[in-house]
Chains A and B, each alone.
Chain A
Amino acid sequence: MEQFSAFFLQHREAIFIVILSIFLGIEVISHVPAILHTPLMSGANAIHGVVIIGAIIVMGHADTTGSMILGFLAVVLGTLNVVGGFVVTDRMLEMFKKKK
């Protein structure tokens, strides 16, 4: 029990953010029309590319060659996720604008 309260109190801000973000995520997209499912999935896909921040931090403190290589790889993959995700979403959505 003590371990649990220590954990909870130490991380309560993060836990708050997690819980509120869950509700936010549900609320934000619950009324999306079916035609936007694919672009929305793709857009959300790009947003979780935020993992690149972690990759940059890891790479920024890498000291051995091995961690340097892995860090480099992580940044490249994270960037692929971000850039590819946003560009592909934009390409899909570009087609919707030509409505008559």
Chain B
Amino acid sequence: MDGISPFPFGITILEITYVIASVLFVIGLKMLSHPLTARRGNILAAFGMGFAIIATILFHKKDGEPIGNIPLIIVAIAVGTVIGWVIAKKVKMTAMPQLVSFFNGMGGAAAALISMMEFPHISPDLIARTGMANGHVLAILLGLMIGTISWAGSMIAFGKLDGWIGDMRIKAMKYVNLTILTVLFGFIAFIMTRDVQASSELTPLIYIMFAIAVVYGVLFVMPIGGADMPVVISLLNSFTGVAAAMGGFLYNNQAMLTGGILVGSAGTILTILMCKAMNRSLLNVIAGVFGGGGKSNIAEGGTVKEISLSDAAVLLSYSKKVVIVPGYGLAVAQAQHICHELDKLLDEKGVEVKYAIHPVAGRMPGHMNVLLAEADVPYEQLIESDEINPDLPNTDVLIVIGANDVVNPAAEDDPSSPIFGMPIIKARDAKNIIVMKRGMGKGYAAIENMLFFNEKTRMLFGDAKNTLQNLVNEIKSL
């Protein structure tokens, strides 16, 4: 357009679009934190992103040069859109946490790639003026480091949640990780103090740094127990936000800067909120103390008592109040629909059925609410643990379905237990307890649960879905 004017039309449109996009991100995020407006908020933020992308392709100029390779860029966007859309639509709701982790990793990788490509092209003028020690270089190096850690870490978190990577716990891990992190910062300092004419002379160092950051990302997530994975994903999520913001710094791009930092800070707060829900400190999570690290001094054993399906059916049918405590076991067995059928059946018989939802039930905070909503369980029936606990002594039967740690009394009784202090659903206060479990395996935190040995507790072993189905049939035939 009018390239001679100091205020070209295109750039004005671009910058205005970035302002609008930033505002939409903020409003979208705000609306996402209220149940009624959440969906609209998400769509609003998506529109902001769409505007920013289109405006960038059409109007962005770097040193007066417009964006080239547009057909290829559009092909790349099309490819990413199709793959992303299909994965996002196809994956089961239970796999949501690993999916978020996967997409997060993609963002981190994109940030790292940008840094790798920009590094050799740092303007020689800038280097002649300030040497390598300038904000531009720092933004590139930090973007590379944080983006790579986020990518590698997210992929490991993804693999762990999907069950094909196990835990690796070595006591010395903390020190190894700390050393690697120091080395990474050492690299940044080293690169920034080099005396060179062109940054491309240092390009091999960038690749070494990338490799070390990959190792760090892997080792950082490896020792962290599965139950803590949501916290880690949230943390890596904020990392990617910061990596994106580094790109904003690099291109003097306000949309990237606000979007990235917003997610970085909101993600950090969210991480802390999640830690609070488990009564753990972030440091504790990162050091991987949870799950197997601590040894409980409660002796194993006692005997567990089983209950037959018909006894369970009778017990439930003649109760006044029943509380269901769903856990991840319910989710993996895809038993949320049959579970809702059970509660409808009991409701028809005049039994009052409520669900007790622990904040970290499932694999992510709020995960269980999503799953039960999928099965059409009315929102009002889902009660948070703090609210339902005082009511439990009046509850005739409490059914634990595939949950373990969130009902473990060790959190209240046993100061040496790794989960001591975590708020729990006080299952043992109920008059009768039925625990549905696959077997006598320990929960995700790998600690013994005395609830199963309680004299009020009866066990129903088997796959949650089959057991519930049989239970429903049994109640129908009464």
A→B interface (CB under 8 Å): 3, 6-7, 10-11, 14, 17-18, 21-26, 28-62, 67-68, 70-100
Contacts and interface: CB of A to CB of B under 8 A. Distances in A.
A100 to B, nearest CB: 5
Contacts of B45: 43, 46-47, 86
B122 to A, nearest CB: 13
Contacts of B202: none
A33 B8 CA distance: 46
B28 interface: yes
A-B residue pairs, 7 tightest by C-beta: A79-B80, A25-B265, A60-B67, A84-B84, A83-B84, A37-B365, A50-B259
Contacts of B206: none
10 contacts: A31-B33, A34-B359, A39-B370, A47-B29, A47-B49, A48-B107, A51-B114, A51-B244, A83-B88, A90-B39
B393 to A, nearest CB: 24
B113 A25 contact: no
A83 B100 contact: no
Given A57-B251, A84-B87, A39 B56 contact: no
A40 B364 CA distance: 11
Contact of B85 (A47, A49, A57, A84): A84
A53 B261 contact: no
Interface in B228-265: 230, 233-234, 237, 240-241, 243-245, 247-265
Contact of B73 (A37, A49, A75): A75
Nearest to B33: A32
B46 interface: yes
Contacts of B249: 11, 14
B33 A28 contact: yes
Interface residues of B, number: 119
B314 to A, nearest CB: 30
B176 interface: no
B378 interface: yes
B245 A18 contact: yes
Chain B contact residues, majority secondary structure = helix
Contact of B366 (A25, A34, A77, A99): A34
B352 interface: no
A36 B266 CA distance: 13
A61 B32 contact: no
A61 B369 CA distance: 46
A80 B113 contact: no
A46 B241 CA distance: 10
A100 B25 CA distance: 30
Contacts of B258: 17, 21
Interface string B59-100: 010100111111011011101110111011101010011011
B187 interface: no
Contact of B270 (A23, A37, A57, A89): A37
A31 to B, nearest CB: 7
B262 to A, nearest CB: 5
Contacts of A59: 69, 72-73, 76
B269 A92 contact: no
A80 B103 contact: yes
Contacts of B247: 51, 53-54
Contacts of A68: 69, 72
A50 B260 contact: yes
B46 A53 contact: no
A21 B234 contact: no
Contacts of B16: none
A32 B273 contact: yes
Contacts of B241: 44, 47-48
A76 B237 CA distance: 19
A38 B370 contact: yes
B125 to A, nearest CB: 14
A82 B56 CA distance: 15
A35 B39 contact: no
Contacts of B270: 29, 32, 37, 40-41, 44
